[in-house]
Structure 1
Amino acid sequence: MSTLNHPAPAAGLMHSFAEPDRFSAALLGGEFEITPLHDEPFSATLRVLRVGDLVVQHADTSAHVTRGGIASGIAVLMLNMQITDRPARVNGVEVGRTDAVLATGGAEIAGHTPRRLRWAALALPLSLLEELAEIAAPDVHVPGAVSGVALPPDRAARLVSALSAAGEFAERLPERLHKPDCAAGLAMALRDEIAGALTAEAAFRPRPRAVGQALRLVREAETFMEARVARPVYTEELCAALGVSARRLHDAFRAALGTSPHAHLKSRRLTLARRALQRQANGPELVKSVALGHGFWHLGHFARDYRALFGELPSETLATAGTRAGPGCEGA
């Protein structure tokens, strides 16, 4: 994670990920947590292009839920690079063909990507965004804000094209970034596209208050669940603890994360179980111990759901952890 407060020299890179934790740790501009969805095992590629104080991140990811926040002093402009019949949602707002999401430092982010998708995020200092926005005139001065932005179609197409080119540049031609004229020219072109997209014709839609309430309720539900990770938390118990109805809880999760409380909390427990296995280096009995310790009492169902989410059995995760640990290392 980087706050971008200290611009680095021009650089480009590309990485592939099979671990959601490693992918989320590689994302710049904030702190994020990725929870895979059950459609397929998680996989992602990330292309990062950094020129001066601008960072373009171009990703191809399988279905997942994102929770996190934008670092202070930063602004992030996010776009879908393709449109499917099940588009992504950020803070409950669907991101369509000519839409973007603008988040400023301190903003809480909840994203739902229901299927494999290409997307891009452009991170820049908030001061630079305000400088560009002063020309274009939208109100982007509210810290911690998340706004949907309906872009003029021609400007949306140009911005998507520029970000696609930046992603390809990071993957195929990183050596050219060390030439000062090339890096400076690319940075200027990206600035022009941002300013052009955020014109007076762009319609800013602030986050609905109901979405903010939903995010708070989801955060409280996750905190309650994490304190009781050794057993399943059922809807009735969660509703009683939070003082809300089952309908309100379900609507909050759907609005914030695009999924049900049961499905999300189960995926969270599976993710926590995986992290526990990756820290260990013992045999099959440890798989049973970790499963029971995270509220999975039916080991066959645990193995099936684990494999659906991560593409391998719990025992395979443990074997890999043992290989990394090397001889003589004992698991907890």
Structure 2
Amino acid sequence: MSLLDELVESDFVKVSRSLDVDRFRSIEGLGEARSIPIDAKNFAASFASLKLKSCSIHLQRTFPRILQMHYSTTGAIVGFTMDDAASLIIDGVEARTPALLLVKGTATCEIVEQQANLLALVNFASIDDRGWPGDADSAQLIVTLPDKCQALRALVGDVLTLASHSPDTFAQPNVIEHVEESILQAVDLAMAAASPTHEAKRLSLSNYLALVRKLDEFVAVNAGKTLYSADVARQLGVSVRTLHNAVVAIRGMSMHRYMRLRRLWNVRQQLVRGESPQSVKAVALVNGFWHMGEFTSMYRDLFGETPQQTLSAARKNTDSQS
């Protein structure tokens, strides 16, 4: 059973199954599509969509076809297969895993699918200052690393599953914003792996050091606030790519990992105080961790205990002192 088969309708996820060709085409929602079926005998296409605040996710089980797709977006569309068995040709080039389709603005693609595929497309309303390759109004295949592609697939699957089966969690304050940031970060890493930047050669280590110190100051001043990489980079007057390179050079890890580490420490500080009646889940959500299983695993790996154990110990200590 595929991911699409497991999804159910919710307040956030729309699912359409057993569509005919025309119905499928009309809901693709990413531009104008013209399909010519290659084999329609066992037509079983289906579709799911999740609309967030600044991006939308579209999951499609397609059918053998020749497709002329005129994409249109205010920002960028990133498309990828959800498994290694997929087979399609885009503008005469075979799109093999781990390739990503990157569309900026408007662009027309000639696509051939000899078989049914499970595809995901993420439409971003804006990608300002993210440093992704490519010109405006163009489409290109970006070959990234297999692990980055797989991480993006897994994340999109987790997001769709959460929005489908746990809409109450998805409706919590700031969860959607944190989800969007997670997706952007995953695409950032995939794009960085595909097209290494030359900015590191143009900026000296001292400049990187100054930039990371500014980042730390900014994070400290805005403690407790939801921070997104694009906003932070804009406030510091650099691109997301430059900020990422600086953190890698100075901190020895990606910016996303560094910021996540800081957020984990912030969670622990709140739990150790043990003063708040909030649950572990509430504290995690406030700090941008929407995937509870992943959060608990990362927390345990870092601190050697679960967040609930930290909170329980803190409350026992507080009770003994009172």
Normalization by structure 1: what TM-score? 0.52
- Deviation readout 1:295-323 (Å, 9 max, x if unpaired): xxxxxxxxxxxxxxxxxxxxxxxxxxxxx
Is 2:187 the partner of 1:194? yes
Structure 2 counterpart of 1:36, which letter?
A: P
Structure 2 counterpart of 1:129, which letter?
A: I
SS of equivalent to 2:122: strand
Q: Which residue of 1 aligns with 2:46?
A: 45
- Deviation readout 1:130-177 (Å, 9 max, x if unpaired): 4222xxxx433x222111101122211111111222333344334543
SS of equivalent to 2:170: helix
Unaligned runs of 5+ in 2: 1-10, 197-322
Which of 168, 178, 185 is the equivalent residue of 1:185?
A: 178
Structure 2 counterpart of 1:166, which letter?
A: V
Is 2:126 the partner of 1:121? no
SS of equivalent to 1:105: strand
Distance 2:92 2:69 in 1: 14
Map 1:131-150; keep pairs closer than 5 Å: 131-133=129-131, 138-140=132-134, 142-150=135-143
Is 2:147 the partner of 1:154? yes
Normalization by structure 2: what TM-score? 0.53
SS of equivalent to 1:52: coil
Map 1:242-321; keep pairs closer than 5 Å: none
Is 2:75 the partner of 1:77? no
Change (3 A) 1:107 1:39: same
Is 2:102 the partner of 1:105? no
Distance 1:89 1:21 in 2: 22
User: How far is 1:124 from its partner?
Assistant: 0.7
Structure 2 counterpart of 1:60, which letter?
A: R
Distance 1:175 1:66 in 2: 37
Which of 160, 164, 171 is the equivalent residue of 1:167?
A: 160
Identity %: 15
Tell me if the contact between 2:73 and 2:123 (Cα under 8 Å) persists in the aligned partners. Answer: no
Tell me if the contact between 1:58 and 1:164 (Cα under 8 Å) persists in the aligned partners. Answer: no
SS of equivalent to 2:24: helix
Unaligned runs of 5+ in 1: 1-9, 205-332
Distance 2:90 2:113 in 1: 9
Distance 1:124 1:146 in 2: 15
Distance 2:19 2:174 in 1: 36
Distance 1:20 1:26 in 2: 10
Is 2:84 the partner of 1:91? no
SS of equivalent to 1:62: coil
User: How far is 1:40 from its partner?
Assistant: 3.3
Tell me if the contact between 2:133 and 2:195 (Cα under 8 Å) persists in the aligned partners. Answer: no
Distance 2:34 2:173 in 1: 35
Tell me if the contact between 2:37 and 2:65 (Cα under 8 Å) persists in the aligned partners. Answer: yes
Distance 1:16 1:175 in 2: 24
SS of equivalent to 1:107: strand
SS of equivalent to 1:189: helix
Tell me if the contact between 2:39 and 2:63 (Cα under 8 Å) persists in the aligned partners. Answer: no
- Deviation readout 1:90-136 (Å, 9 max, x if unpaired): 222212121111112220022111112111011112xx324222xxx
Tell me if the contact between 1:60 and 1:117 (Cα under 8 Å) persists in the aligned partners. Answer: yes
